[in-house]
Structure 1
Amino acid sequence: MFTDPTPTDADWPIAGETVRHGTGVNSNRAFPTSGFPANLDPFVLFERFYIEPDTGFPMHPHKGFEIVSYMIDGGMDHADSLGVEHTARENEAMRITTGGGIRHSEFPADGAACNGLQLWVNLPREKKGVEPDYVDASAAELPTRELDGATVTTVVGDGSPIELHTPMTYLDVRVADGWTWSVPDGWAGFCYAVAGSGTVDGRAFGEGDVVPTRSGGEFEVATDEGLRLVAVAGRPHNEPIRQQGPFVL
């Protein structure tokens, strides 16, 4: 089902890898890593960040892509050069369109540690210079569906106020029994285990693991103990992703 040559089909799920950045923030990065040294067009990178009270990301620049931050636990204070100041808390989301350039900072709120997920999505070549923009969504604004075997919250996609310049979906899925992840043909994507354990197409899948795809398809997720994952998919731009630190050119 997973056809990208790096890694081979036999290699997934892939374990995320620890990276350290900002003023000492530790993250579990899904990609790109030494185990999966590639982007997943249109996605530049994805990681789970853990910000302790004495660490964070002071004001710094970005351009050329969009950022989706989704909080798992605690609160994160955001401030940017647009004049926005906002605290995102558990199950809340923020989207930044960096476009032609923006500066922002991220620190834990209330003197307590926080953790969450951050996704970078490439902007297509013709939109690299768009005006920077920001939007956030509370947990109540993100639609949630109860299915047989799973509860699915849409972070990006139908019904969510979070929209990007790239056609894509971003789901927060709490699997109690089973769930099928359907990725449109030709789309790229990945699922990432946030907590718990289970299987994807019969293969063991637990916290910090990643299952990528570049060609769409269906993946059967199952669990006996409970599993929380995010499933992200988008339409590729079919353009090179050229990341230079905080910029995607």
Structure 2
Amino acid sequence: MARNETPHGRDEPVSGQTVRHGTGVNSNRAFPTEAYPHHLDPFVLFERFYIDPEKGFPMHTHKGFEIVSYMIEGGMEHEDSLGVEHTAFEDEAMRITTGREISHSEFPADDQACNGLQLWVNLPREKKDIEPDYVDASADELPTTTQDGATVTTVVGEGSPIDLHTEMEYLDVHVSDAWTWSIPDGRTGFLYGVEGEGTVDGHAFGVGDVLPVTDDGDVTVEVDDEAAGDSFRVVAVAGEPHDEPITQRGPFVL
């Protein structure tokens, strides 16, 4: 199977893979990895990054996709060729549309380590050369609702100021009992473990685990009985596929 093809059907969870970037930053990558060597159209890659003090990503160039960064702990300073300078802290988000080309840097704020989640979303072929763009959102601007068995924050989707050129939803879910994720028909998605332990469709699921979802239907997320009262946090992401090949060349998506 080619790297940019996606298997169809409901996969079982797999563990993320440790990736060390050339700048000394470590990440836990959900996909593509040796365990799951595929993109998930429209998603290029997803990982949790851990940036130590005095590490980071100096100014570098991207093109051809969109980036959503969502902070879990600490702050990350962003600077780009559009003239934007912004620091995102815990539960805050940034979106970059790289388009024809943008350069940016990312470093931990206040000389303190930080970690967060970064998602790359492919741009459809006809939008590869659009003008670059940037937007951010504070924690207060991201809508949060209490649902049966969970508290859900919408990072991308209805009510969020973060939007992309791909129809998608990105949910930050704190599960207290059991929560059902209903994936819109025809969308591709994944769940990723951020904190704590539980089960996903009956399979054990913890920090750094990923469940690719390439079929329609609901996904059931539950806290383990033995871990009752502990925090179980996942992100749930689903998007409309472009049905186009994803060709990644380092920092570029062609």
In the TM superposition, 1:73-92 aligns within 5 A as 73-92=73-92
The letter for the 2-side match of 1:77 is: E
Match of 1:243 among 221, 226, 248: 248
Separation in structure 1 between the aligned mates of residue 7 and residue 210 of structure 2, nearest angstrom: 16
Separation in structure 1 between the aligned mates of residue 240 and residue 215 of structure 2, nearest angstrom: 10
- 8 Å contact from structure 1 (residues 156, 169) kept in 2: yes
Separation in structure 2 between the aligned mates of residue 37 and residue 117 of structure 1, nearest angstrom: 19
| Residue 200 of structure 2 is aligned to residue 200 of structure 1 | yes
DSSP 3-state at the match of 1:230: strand
Aligned to 1:175: 175
Kindly report structure 1 stretches of 4+ aligned residues shifted beyond 3 Å. Answer: none
- 8 Å contact from structure 2 (residues 7, 214) kept in 1: no
The letter for the 2-side match of 1:102 is: I
Identity percentage of aligned residues: 72
The Cα offsets for residues 186-242 of structure 1, whole Å up to 9 and x where unpaired, read as: 110000000000001111111100001112310011003331000000000000000
Aligned to 1:68: 68
The Cα offsets for residues 147-187 of structure 1, whole Å up to 9 and x where unpaired, read as: 12100000000000000000000000000101001111211
Aligned to 2:186: 186
- 8 Å contact from structure 1 (residues 22, 58) kept in 2: no
DSSP 3-state at the match of 2:197: strand
The Cα offsets for residues 107-165 of structure 1, whole Å up to 9 and x where unpaired, read as: 00000000000000000000000000000000000000011210000000000000000
Aligned to 1:113: 113
Separation in structure 1 between the aligned mates of residue 232 and residue 167 of structure 2, nearest angstrom: 27
Paired residues in the alignment total 244
Q: Structure 2 regions of 5+ residues with no counterpart?
A: 1-5
- 8 Å contact from structure 1 (residues 22, 57) kept in 2: no
Aligned to 1:44: 44
Aligned to 1:102: 102
Match of 1:230 among 227, 230, 235: 235
- 8 Å contact from structure 1 (residues 46, 118) kept in 2: yes
DSSP 3-state at the match of 1:166: coil
The letter for the 1-side match of 2:77 is: D
Separation in structure 1 between the aligned mates of residue 162 and residue 252 of structure 2, nearest angstrom: 22
The letter for the 1-side match of 2:65 is: F
Q: Structure 1 regions of 5+ residues with no counterpart?
A: none
Give the alignment's TM-score, normalised by structure 2: 0.94
Give the alignment's TM-score, normalised by structure 1: 0.96
Q: CA deviation at 1:23?
A: 1.3
Q: CA deviation at 1:30?
A: 0.1
Aligned to 2:17: 17
- 8 Å contact from structure 2 (residues 60, 104) kept in 1: yes
Separation in structure 2 between the aligned mates of residue 34 and residue 113 of structure 1, nearest angstrom: 28
